[in-house]
Amino acid sequence: DAGVIQSPRHEVTEMGQEVTLRCKPISGHDYLFWYRQTMMRGLELLIYFNNNVPIDDSGMPEDRFSAKMPNASFSTLKIQPSEPRDSAVYFCASSPNTGSTQPQHFGDGTRLSIL
């Protein structure tokens, strides 16, 4: 299997611009997770989906962040407008379940820099 695929790997943009991060989960995995990783806060869960439906978005920092999963093979995380404090590495992960009995599989992340 190809694993979880994220794009782009790196994104540099100016403050105020819209940013869209993309994720293709592993086929057959019912759960998809979006995380943000920073030195200060570590790995934070932003939102997760089960069968394309958002289950918990309590980790989304504010209304500038939104996530969609239009089908089982694609998800996006959008930031509009972007701010310098959004600079971080964003990971997508997928799993057959939440992690209660099966591990999560991570993509290699998108390194986002907002100038």
Q: In the complex, what is the shortest distance from the CB of residue 30 to other proteins, in angstroms, rounded to a whole number? A: 11
CB 63, min distance to other proteins, A: 22
Q: Which is nearer to other proteins, 18 or 34 (CB)?
A: 34
- Return the number of the residue (14 or 101) whose C-beta is nearest other proteins: 101
Distance CA 4, CA 106 (A): 6
75 vs 104, which CB is nearer to other proteins? 104
CB of 81 to other proteins, least distance (A): 27
Our CB check for other proteins shows the closer of 18 and 108 to be 108
Smallest distance, Å, CB 39 to other proteins? 9
> What is the binding site for other proteins (CB under 8 A)?
4, 33, 42-43, 45, 48, 56, 91, 93, 97-101, 103-109
How do 110-114 and 10-13 pair as beta strands?
parallel
